[in-house]
Amino acid sequence: MDDCIFCRIVKGELPASKIHEDEHTLAFLNIVAAHPGHALVIVKEHVENLYGLSDAQSAAVFQATTRVARAVKAATGCDGVTLFQANEVAGGQTVFHFHIHVLPRFKEDNLLPFWKASAPGRAELDEMAARLREVL
């Protein structure tokens, strides 16, 4: 896609501070970083979101993300790492090319708000599990 910022980075049309690259993936530092070391891991081929990934791309991107997360942890000395991946506008996606954020986290950084937890009953959980199994 000619107007996709991540496709342009893959093609070398835009600069990026690259961390890792293989046949299917590219990882680079986010220019709008939450903390130093905030990285993005993308699939090289233009795939809009998680739903369009092939099994090979899915495996490759998670393997690359694991490697990058280990590097972020070691290089930054952070207390932990959060992986963030959003799909579609309602899910919080703003760049429509599949990517995973690797966020170095520090104690009490209050970086991400967390959702209000609910406690559905076992019957509700079992019903949803059955619906999901049926779709799979």
Active site residues: 99
Give every CB contact of residue 27 below 8 A, 6+ residues apart in sequence: 18, 19, 20, 21, 39, 40, 41, 42, 64, 65, 68, 102
CA dihedral of residues 106, 112, 117, 123 (deg, nearest 10): -100
The strand pair at 80-84 and 39-43 is best described as unpaired
